[in-house]
Structure 1
Amino acid sequence: MKETEMPQPLDQTAVAARCGIALTTVRKYHMVAERNRDNGDPQPGDMPAPDGQVGRSPWWYPSTIDAWNENRPKPGTERGGRPQGERGPEHLREVAKVFQAAEKAQKSVPAPATVIAEHFGVGRPTAYRWIRQAKEEGLLSD
């Protein structure tokens, strides 16, 4: 790019495509970040303020979005989101313990996967994956 050429600004649709996230997610990130800035309480990882606006439509330079996207918290990372990855043997033993207790009391409690999800603060798909891993490790029987 020549020094006199300006980079092509990105609207919210282009930001979504560039970051690999849904347009509704970009709109929500922008709305929350704007509210945080308006309240004088910006948060780490907030979407940056727009580099400009056309009417009421915000736009950003690619470099602004790339820097934010590289450093923003993403689910399943040490910088944010719910735990998603594999866990060690101690964790799977705890999953097995909670599963077995839920199975014993099944008439009075929700399904074991639901109990595990609530106990660890994760979604049911993650709970099912942990149950499968505990079974593969021989901590639970089929």
Structure 2
Amino acid sequence: MESDIYKKKELDKLTSNLTELLELILAELQQEIPEKEFTLTTIKANLYWSVQWKSTKLWKSERYLKESFQLKMYPDNEKWSLRGYHRVEDLFEQLEDTHFLHKEKSLRDFLTISNALREQIKYAIIKSVHQEFDPNY
């Protein structure tokens, strides 16, 4: 059985890796789509990351939407899960659209799939940025 100290070190390493990964993705996206003005909010203690961008979409109100792509990591039995989702906020409405969910993986598993995660996260952010909304929904 792994010690708590070892698990904490692995978790710290993973959160740092995910933060660096998102910073790299944002640098690429800022080059590819500069008008979106991407920003990253990280709360490592809560295992939470949020990529925001300047939205020019309207949905139900006359205000531009507040959009983000969020990652949330949480304990799942003895393992961990990572959810990536597009969050949309209008004046009175909110939506979340899950793009991927990696369930019940060890911290080591997440470290070994970081390249696949990178592609998956970048694709999900690009898809979210370009997603249109039905005002009748």
TM-score, L = length of structure 2: 0.30
**1 or 2, which has the higher strand percentage?**
2
**1 or 2, which has the higher helix percentage?**
1
**Bigger CA radius of gyration:** 1
Higher relative contact order (CA 8 A, sep 6+): 2
TM-score, L = length of structure 1: 0.29
